[in-house]
Structure 1
């Protein structure tokens, strides 16, 4: 008798799509107000989930969506790191 394991779903703050937690990246704000990327999804603090897609990340930066959800200032280096992670995830290299 096969049991179906429930897959945790989370909503992308940019697209509004519900996706499995493993398909999204979590950005977290600690109690001290420090914003960081949380690849494990286990850091304490207020979190926001984002689809690991270049267009999605750029839209979040343009509209300041992460800063709004986390109620904290999001440094440009966070967006740069997210874009690098998105490139690794898709495996596309623009420099070829």
Structure 2
């Protein structure tokens, strides 16, 4: 039962992370995804923060524009989660 809740919570936070990045994509130099990742990491732990960081950026890049840089930017967001922890 608890595994289902954790999975659902992580999926919702990942979807919100993707929406935050997609909505703010037209505005240059505004990156609220970083703040969202830090909050999720501090409140729910490193595992949730890393999953939201990597999956949120990857899902958003599928909409905004997927390229060879996606993995590296996702890895950078994972480092943000690790540093916040």
TM-score by length of 2: 0.40
Greater helix proportion: 2
Greater strand proportion: 1
